[in-house]
Amino acid sequence: MDINGRILDLRVKELNINIGRDGSAVQDPKEIYIATRDAIKEAVKRHSGDIYAIVLSAQMHGVTVIDRHGRELIPLVTYLDTRPSSILESTLKDIEPYKLYKETGCPPLVIYPLTKIIWLRENYKNVFKNAKLFLSAKDYTIFKLLGETFIDRGVASGSQLLDISRLKWSDYALELCQIGEEKLPELVDCKEELPISRSVALELGLKEPVPLIIGSSDGALHSVGVGAIDGRTLALNLGTSGAIRSSSREVVTDYSKEMRFFCYYIGFGYRLPGGAINNAGIVVKWFKDNIINVEADVFKKMKMNIYEGIDRLAGSVNAGADDLIALPFFTGERFPIRDSKIRGVFWGLKLTHGKAHILRALMEGCAYTLRWIYKAMEENNIVGCKIRIGGGGAKSKTWREIMANVFQLPVEAIHTEEASLLGAAIMGFTALGLYRDLEEACKSMIKVVDIMQPDPDKSALYNSYFERFIKIYRAVRGIQ
């Protein structure tokens, strides 16, 4: 990516995730490292003499373990892994959840490494005993490249192990895990430049060594990549999962002990209050895979991309899906509610409803869940004046329109789907001093290509459906 925010070369490597019936969801950390190395090598092939730096963006919430010889003792336990759930339930009985939340910015959720480490201690005693370091995907990759371990405060803030105010490891969290700081990588800020040796540079296809800038988490860099760092712009990510985030120079946590949103760290002094949902693009994919076989064949014959066809199908139905409301909680939900047992519900299904109504209701249900998180943020004085959207779902004009009307805010789309990669480039050029600060870099490197304005009549309609959506969830929750 160049200094103007243009992608010069993009290489994608798909990674396997092994899902087990026992709730396991793991990845091979070596595979992550090899894929990263090879993607870099291929991407720089035509530009190897022009590279300023390599900047890393990475997933959050995963944990792997290495021993004193640098050998992996377990695969990377990802945020999708539900095996530590029983440990979370028992741990909550012995701690003060709100105290932990206020200190780390992380509500009590099974996704976080803190719970995973306690689970390893209780269930894999030899692994815990022989653990030299607990690492995230990024830390492991850096270890394989440099032989040393570092973690940026952005990724660390999604571990429930970082004191979000002091930006140091939390004494309270480490006490719960029964580990010391020596079991974790060295904390550094996102702009830290890690030196690459000549041999590593050659292995990556570079003519000369360049700085490896550690960067931040994919979520934090998505916010940077869409330019949502001014405290007034909300970052909306619509991928397989979804998220709504703001930014703040101060730590912001929920006054309510329901702990309805997180507060992570971006870098450069910015905090990242917001919430993520399990069910966004994944429910649209379910619809594609299970409901529209006939329509998919029609789209194919028309030489139309299936997701373009899905967008048109959803757009053929009125706002509110003719009184059909979906709770799209196919995989439980984590924000603003913590309910792993809730599942999908359609409310108000009639004989006049068809496939398009089901699709639109699912898309609207995702919007209502994100609006519910934002409602909690508003109650804590986190208020946006516009939304910048990214992720694969941002390509859907219908979904952008739904979001604008549900949130009652303009929704702006930017020039690239790769918001997190753009955010990494913005952070890298700023760290190198080519821009004065992140704000200047964002203004120069981000281009808004579409603005969807809210319609007052549709927004009023969605307000009533949103309130009904919450009532339906509360009624259904009582049936579990």
State the Cα–Cα distance between residues 146 and 429, nearest whole angstrom: 22
Same domain, 197 and 224: no
Same domain, 171 and 229: no
Confidence at residue 303, expressed as pLDDT on a 0 to 100 scale:
80
Among 104-113, 216-225, 293-302, 319-328, whose mean pLDDT is lowest?
293-302
Domains: count for the chain: 2
Confidence at residue 94, expressed as pLDDT on a 0 to 100 scale:
83
Of the candidates 170, 152, 184, the one whose C-alpha atom is nearest the C-alpha of residue 266 is 152
Confidence at residue 368, expressed as pLDDT on a 0 to 100 scale:
98
Of 155, 179, 210, the residue that ends a domain is 210
Same domain, 300 and 195: no
11 falls within a domain? no
Same domain, 164 and 265: no
Q: What is the pLDDT of residues 146-191, one digit of tens each?
A: 999 999 999 999 999 999 999 999 999 999 999 999 999 999 999 9
Does residue 296 register a pLDDT over 80? no
Q: What is the pLDDT of residues 463-477, one digit of tens each?
A: 999 999 999 999 999
Task: Answer whether 90's CB lies under 8 Å from 75's CB.
Answer: no
Confidence at residue 3, expressed as pLDDT on a 0 to 100 scale:
95
Of 180, 210, 240, the residue that ends a domain is 210
CB neighbour class for 478 (10 Å; exposed up to 12, middle 13-18, buried from 19): exposed
Task: Answer whether 296's CB lies under 8 Å from 308's CB.
Answer: no
Does residue 287 register a pLDDT over 90? yes
7 falls within a domain? no
Among 125-134, 236-245, 249-258, 295-304, whose mean pLDDT is lowest?
295-304
The backbone torsions φ and ψ at residue 115, rounded to the nearest 5 degrees and listed phi first, read -65, -40
Q: Tell me the mean pLDDT in the region 329-356.
A: 94
Q: What is the pLDDT of residues 40-88, one digit of tens each?
A: 999 998 887 789 999 999 999 999 999 999 999 999 999 989 999 888 8
pTM: 0.95
- In the structure, what pLDDT confidence band is assigned to residue 301 with cuts at 50, 70 and 90? confident
Does residue 299 register a pLDDT over 90? no
Does residue 347 register a pLDDT over 80? yes
Q: How far apart are the first and last CA of the chain?
A: 49
State the Cα–Cα distance between residues 159 and 288, nearest whole angstrom: 34
Same domain, 160 and 294: no
Whether omega before 336 lies within 30 degrees of 0, making that bond cis, reads yes
2 falls within a domain? no
Confidence at residue 459, expressed as pLDDT on a 0 to 100 scale:
98
Same domain, 234 and 161: no
Same domain, 249 and 289: yes
Does residue 293 register a pLDDT over 80? no
78 falls within a domain? yes
Same domain, 252 and 307: yes
Of 210, 233, 252, the residue that ends a domain is 210
Confidence at residue 93, expressed as pLDDT on a 0 to 100 scale:
85
48 falls within a domain? yes
Boundaries of domain holding 257: 219-480
Confidence at residue 416, expressed as pLDDT on a 0 to 100 scale:
93
If you search the block for the tokens 């200094």, which residue do you land on? Answer: 3
342 falls within a domain? yes
4 falls within a domain? no
Confidence at residue 462, expressed as pLDDT on a 0 to 100 scale:
98
Q: What is the pLDDT of residues 248-282, one digit of tens each?
A: 999 999 999 999 999 999 999 999 999 999 999 99
**Three-state secondary structure readout of the chain:** CCCCCCCCCCCCCCCCCEECCCCCEEECHHHHHHHHHHHHHHHCCCCCCCCCCEEEEECCCCEEEECCCCCEEEEEECCCCCCCHHHHHHHHCCCCHHHHHHHHCCCCCCCCHHHHHHHHHHHCHHHHHHCCEEECHHHHHHHHHHCCCEEEHHHHCCCCCEECCCCEECHHHHHHHCCCHHHCCEEECCCCEECCCHHHHHHCCCCCCCCEEEEEEHHHHHHHHCCCCCCCEEEEEECCCEEEECCECCCCCCCCCCCCCEEEEEECCEEEEEEEECCCHHHHHHHHHHCCHHHHHHHHHCCCCHHHHHHHHHHCCCCCHHHCEEECCECEECCCCCECCCCCEEECCCCCCCHHHHHHHHHHHHHHHHHHHHHHHHHCCCCCCEEEEECHHHHCHHHHHHHHHHHCCCEEEECCCCHHHHHHHHHHHHHCCCCCCHHHHHHHHCCEEEEECCCHHHHHHHHHHHHHHHHHHHHHHCCC
Same domain, 176 and 304: no
Does residue 315 register a pLDDT over 80? yes
User: Which CATH number goes with the domain that contains 113?
Assistant: 3.30.420.40
State the Cα–Cα distance between residues 181 and 167, nearest whole angstrom: 13
3 falls within a domain? no
Same domain, 227 and 206: no
CB neighbour class for 286 (10 Å; exposed up to 12, middle 13-18, buried from 19): middle
Same domain, 116 and 82: yes
Q: What is the pLDDT of residues 376-429, one digit of tens each?
A: 999 999 999 999 999 999 999 999 999 999 999 999 999 998 999 999 999 999
Same domain, 418 and 286: yes
